[in-house]
């Protein structure tokens, strides 16, 4: 699949005895998962087609066309659910999706090329940018205003201050 996929949820397991799923939603509104139509696996293959649901404590309790029994629902525990980036609404002018940072050029405040953003991760303490320099090993930067003072999505550039230069 050529389109970038965005993680929107994960099957947490079965809910009840009639084949409902509990899906942990990574969206602001868990019910928005119902609007995406078919949810995909990480490799782009179809995963689930939600047919209905209700919000419950940051999750979606839902029914899927592909699931009829509690056992089928439980077997999907841990399944990550994705949608194509194109399925998401466009952000406002001065906003962006964190996933859109991947691949952007990184430069110092003086305009010196530092590399490209290889990935964006959150290990529990906030977003980190993995920067892949033109040569050598990649390095991590916290995605904070001090370390990343500017994000210019339209230009494809992120301005960053290397950790050894901040203080």
Sequence-distant (6+) residues with CB within 8 A of 88 are: 6, 97
Dmax of the chain from CA atoms? 61
Residues 78 and 31 reside in one and the same domain: yes
* pLDDT for residue 88: 86
Residue 54 sits in the same domain as residue 110? no
167 within domain boundaries: no
Asked if 75 and 135 sit in the same domain, the reply is no
Q: What pLDDT does 70 receive?
A: 96
Q: How far apart are CA 62 and CA 90, in angstroms?
A: 26
| Residue 155, domain extent | 98-162
Give the pLDDT of residue 165.
52
User: What mean pLDDT comes out for the span 53-57?
Assistant: 94
On whether both 80 and 110 belong to a single domain, the answer is no
pLDDT for 86 = 87
59/126 same-domain check: no
Band (pLDDT 50/70/90 cuts) for residue 128 is very high
pTM of the full structure: 0.72
Cβ burial 99-127 (10 Å sphere, 16+ → b, else e): ebbeebebbeeeeeebbbbbebeeeeeee
Query: Is 92 inside any structural domain?
Result: no
Q: DSSP H helical segments within 29-114, as ranges?
A: 70-75
* The predicted structure's pLDDT at residue 3: 62
Q: For residue 166, what pLDDT is reported?
A: 47
Q: Clarify whether residues 40 and 81 are in a common domain.
A: yes
Average per-residue pLDDT for the chain: 90
Q: How far apart are CA 66 and CA 3, in angstroms?
A: 24
CATH of the domain at 127: 2.30.30.240
> Is-contact 34 63, C-beta < 8 A?
no
Q: Same structural domain for residues 70 and 106?
A: no
Query: CA distances (Å), 11 to each of 8, 75, 86, 120, in order?
Result: 10, 10, 22, 22
């Amino acid at each position: 699949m050529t389109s970038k996929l965005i993680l929107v949820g994960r099957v947490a397991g079965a809910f009840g005895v009639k084949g409902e799923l509990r899906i942990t939603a990574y969206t602001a509104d868990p019910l928005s998962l119902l609007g995406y139509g078919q949810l995909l696996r990480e490799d782009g293959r179809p995963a689930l087609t939600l047919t209905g649901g209700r919000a419950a404590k940051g999750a979606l309790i839902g029914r899927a066309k592909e699931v009829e029994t509690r056992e089928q629902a439980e077997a999907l525990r841990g399944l990550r659910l994705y949608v194509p980036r194109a399925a998401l609404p466009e952000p406002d002018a001065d906003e962006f999706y964190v996933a859109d940072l991947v691949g952007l050029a990184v430069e110092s405040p003086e305009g010196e090329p530092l590399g490209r953003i290889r990935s964006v991760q959150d290990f529990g303490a906030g977003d980190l940018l993995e920067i892949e320099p033109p040569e050598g090993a990649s390095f991590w930067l916290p995605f904070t205003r001090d370390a990343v003072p500017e994000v210019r999505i339209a230009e494809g550039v992120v301005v960053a201050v290397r950790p050894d230069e901040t203080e």
